[in-house]
Each structure stands twice: as C-alpha cells, then as structure tokens.
Structure 1
C-alpha cells in the first residue's frame, strides 16, 4: 500500500537502466572490430562490424524494455505483455526473412538494422503501457538520489548474473569459431536455437511465479513450498514429452528443415541440447524463487563459480572433440547450474536438501533417462511407438495429480 514510493522508484531505476544500456552500447561499439577479428573465415568483416554497431545502438532500448516489462509484471498485466510479445516474436523471424528474400544483396548488417528497428518499437510500446498502469504514481515520477544505493546493491548482483549467464550462453559459438571454423558454428547453433525456443515455456511460467513468490516469501507463507513443488512438477510433465520427441526425431526434423547432409552433422548435438534444455528449464523455478526472495547475490555467486569451470571445459572439450565437445560442455553447465539453483533455494524454503532431491525426483529422472534412451533405436516406427509409450507413462501420474488437485479444490 506504499503507492507514493512507486513513482520515484520507477523513475530512478529507469534512469539507471538507461545509463547502463548506453554504457553497454558504447562498449559494444568500441570493441566491434576486435570482436569480429576473433572469428575465423568471416566473408565480409566490414559487414559484420556494421552489424555489431547496429546491435550496440539497440542496447539501451533492450535494457529499458526489460525494466518496462518488469513494471507490467508487477502490475500482473500479463495479457498486455503477451499481446506485445507475440507480434514482436514473429517480427524477429519475419523481418530478417524479408531481408533475405527481397534485399539485393541480403547483407548481415541490413538484417541487424531490421532487428534494431523492432527493438526500438518494442521499447516504445512497453514504455507506453508501463506508463498507463501507473496512473496514481506517475504524478510523483521523480528522481530520488537516496534510492541509488539500494537499487545499485540489489541491481548490481542481478547485473552480474545478467552479464555472466548470457555470456556463457553465447561464448561457445565464439570458441567453436576460433578453434574449429565459422562454418561449424552453423551446425552447432542451428539445433541449439531450435531447442532453446522451449525457454518460452518456463519464461511464461516464471513471469507469473515471480510476483507470487515475492508475496509469499514476504509473508513467510508455508504454501511457498507447495507452489514451488507444483511448478517444478508440472513444468517437468509438460516439457519431458517435447524434449524426448526432439531427441527421438532429431535427424528426421533436421532433414525436413534443412537437408540430410546437415542432419548427419547436427543430430547428435540436437540430442544433447534436448537433454540440457529440460534440465535448464526446471532450474528456472528455483532461480525465480531466489530472485523473488531478494537473494540475487546467491545466483550471481553461483554463476561466477560456473564461469571458469565452463570456459575451461568448453575449450578443452572443443579442442578434443570438436562441436560435439562444445555441446557436452554446454550440457555439463546446464546440469551444474540446475544443481546449484536447487541447493541454494532449499534454505529459503525452509527445507533440507534431502527433501528437494526426494525419491520422487529420482523416479522422474529415471523416467526421463528411459525416454531419451530411445534415441539409440534406429527404426523410425519403433521410435514412434516408444514416444507413445512415454506419453502413456506420463499420463498416469499426471491424471492422479490432477484428480488430487481437483478434490482439494472442491
């Protein structure tokens, strides 16, 4: 009910984020030529550098968009967020496609500028609706210097994670480009991009969970543990069939999407990514809980621990095993990250680590392992049957859980 504090808080945070976005853009532009020089076999370096300049210009708008979306989420305006996200998500793919189809020549920097235009528009739309959901507070939309310290402390730890985590998410491609070749990046990045689109599922869930967790943690509500368990369980039940299907039919999907030669190179990678994305999506729930409890320092420290371990494993495995080694390093990072997130959230929930990793968790893990093992079957027909058996095996516990939920609700 402290509405009078919201306006100054939003104003001060927005100015800080704009400054951080500008700083990031300047650093990106200043290191554009150096960054591109690290990649081997770039057909047109000038074109690539211009693309980085375009992305540098977009940085302030990207950072501000995150802040405006946070205001909408805090107001539970998820309908507005989704109405913005849908067309902008389509534009992210259709805009570059239009450049490839109609621009002569189809240049990388042209594609980058199209994406920048989309980010600028998205920022403007998010800002407009963020302003509209703050009707009472915007009359005191003023800068408050005394808010700088608390924002900088909490935001500083958040920024560590928001820098280190994306860096680890993309550094593997640069390492492949440096050790193997730029063409090998395509075999690696294409199945990875396809599989990681499943981040949409936990992203939508955790956007709703964050304010719910924050409220329950502030009240020390014991129902937080119940909500946490349900979120992890149903996320697992929703994603396991999808990830198993991506693994079982990886070669067939890549043949349909691109061609057989490409599929031969990337099938093994896609299967590794399918396992990793399931593990990583589940880690979004404890990560969100930790953030909502105001303990961003824990996740930042976890990511700082992961960074040198991942970089060392990535360089060594890529040097020895090529792009498959890079994929294995990525899977190991996903596993370590999930393990740390669940460990770190247990004291916040008032639970022991043993209760987090219960017999039920190991049983579901064994079921997942069994499902992914079907990828070794060569016959397409048997793999289809295997997929149906997996769905049937999941349907039974899901129905029991749903009936139990309905009975309690009634």
Structure 2
C-alpha cells in the first residue's frame, strides 16, 4: 500500500515537472511569435522556422541513442551492475559526439545549396551563414540527448526541467532580444541560439556527473556495447521517423487530391487538439525508465504502475478532449470565423476522439519500449505505414476531408488495440483491472459523451458536458477505482481540509 502511494506521488510530481518544462515554453512561444514576425518580417521569420525545422530533423542523428542509453542504464541499475555504467556512458557519449559532428558537417556542407533554394526576400549569404552557425551547435544538441538520457534513468526530472524550462523559453526570447536590442539579422539570431544550446549542454554535463559520480572514470571505448545501443536506438529511430511521417501524409495527400484551402481546414483543428500530446509526453518520459527498472528487476509493480498511469492520463485527457468535441463549432467560430468553423468543426470533433484514444496508447507503447522490445513498436509502425497510406489515399480521393479524417481515426483505433494487445504479453492485464468488462462501460460512456454535439444551444451543451464529466468520474470512482485508491483520495481530501485519515 505504502509503495503504491509512493509510486502515485512519484508519477504526479515528475509529470508536473515535465508539464512545466514543456508547457511554459509553449506559452512563451505563443506570446513571442507575433512580435518576432513583426520585427523580423515574414520572410526572415519564415527562414528562422525552417532553420528550426532543419535542426529538429538533424537532431534525429542521435539515432535514438538518448533513449537507448536511458534503457541500458536503467537495466544495469536494476541488475545492480553499477560497475559497468562508466564504460557504457563513455562509449555512448563518444558515439553521440561523433554522430553530432557528422550531422553538423552535413548541415555546413549543404548550407550554400539549401540557401540558394530557400531564398525568398532574404539574402542567400545571410541564410547560409545562419545555417552554418547552427551546424556548429549540432554536436552539443546530440550530446545533450545522451546526457538527458542519463538524468532520466536516474529519475532527475526536476533537474532536467530546471534546464529545459529556461532553454525552451530562450529559444523564442533569445531571438526576440537580439532583434530588439542588437539588429535584425538571422546570423545574429542563430549565434544566440547556438550559444544557448552550448550552455544547455554544459549544464547537462554538470548535473549528469553529479547524478552519477565517477560516470567517466572508466574511459574505455567498448565495441561490444555498440551493438546493443545501435540496435535499440535504431529501432527507436524507426518509430520516431515513421510515426510522424504517417501524421504528415494526410495533409500532403489532401493538398494533392483536394486543394490547399482544404489543408488549412484539416490542419488547423488538428494543430489545436494535438497540443494535448504534451500531457502523455510528460507522463511517459517519467514512466520509461521506471518501467525498465521494474521489468528488469522483478516486474511485480509494473501492472500497478501501468494502471495508475492509465487512470491519471485518462482523468486528465478526457475532460479536455471532450470539451473540444462538444464545443468544436463554438470554439472555431470564436477563434477564427463562422465560415471556417462550418468547414472544420466536424474534423475537430473526430480529432478530439482520436487524440483521446492515441493519448491512452502512449502508455502501452512506453511499456513495450521500456521492456526492451523496441523492435516490436518499430515493426508495428512499419507494417501500418503502407496500409495506412493506401487507405488514406482511397478514402481522401472518394470522400474528401471526411474520408481523410476517417482513415486517421481508424489508424488511431487500430494502433491503440495493437499496443494494448502487445502490452498484455508483458504484464498480466488481470492485475491492471479485475473485471475487464467494466472497461466496456468506459467505452460506452465515451461514445455517449459525444451525443451533446447533436444538441443546439450553448447553455444546454454546457450542462450536458458537465453531466458527462460527472457521470464518467462517478463510474470510474465506483467501478474502476480500487478500495485502496478511494482511501488514498479520501485521505488526501481529509488532510487538505485539516482532518486526519489513517491509511
């Protein structure tokens, strides 16, 4: 019981750290982008976003080794093989430094060619120079991924976000400060960004060495460690590349088969609702090393961890996604205009349901990877890819935007089913929920929750939304939550109001 409470507290605390580290920079971005666009101008700001995109893409040159290192360190700690940690870390960081340098070299060599093809109102030398400046940051960016992996394996999420928060804010405030107080120049902006990345890397070095004292004592390059790292990291990279690619294919096909305007009607609601992915992202970063440690040590607490993660995530994500589902048309009318809302509101309703399903699928996905079965998730995405593209093309060609969003929702459902099915091969699902049929009740309530979209009147739908949330939470409290979980919640409420509750 006390161990379960400790797990519960750990999940909440570290997830909140991650939400702050990821969420606050997003708010800064929303606030600073209009000023950046105004000061830099449309052309320079467009080039800056492309440079950000290129850096993000070349960041894949870590080949998944950051998360693979988290996996390997968690396994060694679980097996009480701390003596092997220094050589593993040294070998990993050496490889990642080389990969980062290679990525930077490619960026540098391709800068002039890329600038010639990107120039549109901006001097090509300015574009080329800014890309070359960012190329110098690539070794530090890739190395930071490995150092963050060390801190994640140690559960140091407070430290990670202590660095991530100012760095994420500086990504937008740094360029703004340069343009306001120095000059309107892309090279100057990217110099500031590069300095920021180097400082962030040095901060990670400092805290990683404090987290694992003596981590570089054994400076031996061990070739036998490479295969395991590259294998794990390589399969993770496959998932990291294929999954986003499937996410972008629908908009390209819509543009090719319908129109550019249709892409806007499709992408705009998706970009809004997909921001909710920050919630499972914050949670799974905490879960990954914990799952690995539990599964490679004894695995007894893995079902409990899995269950608590699912409950926490659903309680956080259900009200948010349902809000966008029920108030899709009202939201888009207010945010954009009535004409746009008329063309996009149904898409937002479908996206809200699909994002809810996909958010829940993040938990079994993380369990599978935490168990070291990274090849399984990669193969799932590789098999999905051609079938999804074919179905997406057929559906979009025949039914337009409705067909595209229908194909997308089908992929979300199938992907979630496969992930939970594979997770059942790792942990005993009977330990996750005693009565699986009760989950059918959750599914039925989710579907019934979307019936208010058929009702006219904002006030009526608001009342129905509140009723749906209340009924769902009551069902989870009475039919899904265990006695211990109810006691924990009641105890927290009692203690918060000055009472005492003996657990």
TM interval, shorter chain, is: 0.7 to 0.9
What is the alpha-carbon distance in structure 1 between the residues aligned to residue 205 and residue 101 of structure 2? 17
Which residue, 61, 64, 86 being the options, matches 1:7? 86
Aligned residue for 1:349, secondary structure, equals coil
Post-superposition shift, 1:217?
A: 1.0
What is the alpha-carbon distance in structure 1 between the residues aligned to residue 451 and residue 472 of structure 2? 16
Question: Closer, same or farther in 2 for the Cα pair 1:394/1:149, shift >3 Å?
Answer: same
Paired residues, number: 404
Higher-Rg structure is 2
Instruction: Using the TM superposition, name which of 383-392 and 312-321 deviates more.
Output: 312-321
Instruction: Using the TM superposition, name which of 141-150 and 355-364 deviates more.
Output: 355-364
Instruction: Tell me the equivalent position of 2:257.
Output: 179
1:144 aligns with 2:234: no
What is the alpha-carbon distance in structure 2 between the residues aligned to residue 403 and residue 78 of structure 1? 30
Per the normalisation by structure 2, the TM-score is 0.68
Which residue, 378, 395, 405 being the options, matches 2:485? 405
Aligned residue for 1:348, secondary structure, equals coil
Which residue, 352, 361, 376 being the options, matches 2:439? 361
Instruction: Tell me the equivalent position of 1:308.
Output: 386
Instruction: Using the TM superposition, name which of 163-172 and 351-360 deviates more.
Output: 351-360
1:170 aligns with 2:268: no
Per the normalisation by structure 1, the TM-score is 0.82
In the TM superposition, 1:92-131 aligns within 5 A as 122-131=200-209
1:198 aligns with 2:256: no
Post-superposition shift, 1:267?
A: 1.6
Instruction: Tell me the equivalent position of 2:425.
Output: 347
Contact 1:71 1:130 in 2 (8 A): yes
Aligned residue for 1:289, secondary structure, equals helix
Which whole-Å deviations, capped at 9, do the CAs of 1:354-374 have from their partners, x for residues lacking one? 989921221111111111232
Post-superposition shift, 1:333?
A: 1.7
Which whole-Å deviations, capped at 9, do the CAs of 1:129-160 have from their partners, x for residues lacking one? 33442322123344322211111222222222
Contact 1:54 1:113 in 2 (8 A): no
Post-superposition shift, 1:274?
A: 0.8
Instruction: Tell me the equivalent position of 1:157.
Output: 235
Contact 1:237 1:398 in 2 (8 A): no
In the TM superposition, 1:36-75 aligns within 5 A as 44=120, 57=135, 63-75=142-154
Question: Closer, same or farther in 2 for the Cα pair 1:360/1:246, shift >3 Å?
Answer: same
What is the alpha-carbon distance in structure 2 between the residues aligned to residue 174 and residue 117 of structure 1? 35
Question: Closer, same or farther in 2 for the Cα pair 1:260/1:75, shift >3 Å?
Answer: same
What is the alpha-carbon distance in structure 2 between the residues aligned to residue 325 and residue 203 of structure 1? 28
What is the alpha-carbon distance in structure 2 between the residues aligned to residue 325 and residue 119 of structure 1? 42
Which residue, 395, 399, 406 being the options, matches 2:473? 395
Consecutive unaligned residues of structure 1, counting only runs of 5 or more, are none
Contact 1:24 1:56 in 2 (8 A): no
Question: Closer, same or farther in 2 for the Cα pair 1:292/1:110, shift >3 Å?
Answer: same
Post-superposition shift, 1:103?
A: 12
Which residue, 280, 303, 308 being the options, matches 2:358? 280
Consecutive unaligned residues of structure 2, counting only runs of 5 or more, are 1-79, 489-501
C-alpha RMSD over aligned residues: 4.1
1:332 aligns with 2:405: no
Contact 1:3 1:137 in 2 (8 A): no
Post-superposition shift, 1:78?
A: 0.9
What is the alpha-carbon distance in structure 1 between the residues aligned to residue 176 and residue 90 of structure 2? 37
What is the alpha-carbon distance in structure 1 between the residues aligned to residue 434 and residue 99 of structure 2? 37
Contact 1:342 1:356 in 2 (8 A): no
Question: Closer, same or farther in 2 for the Cα pair 1:257/1:124, shift >3 Å?
Answer: farther
Contact 1:4 1:137 in 2 (8 A): no
Contact 1:209 1:288 in 2 (8 A): yes
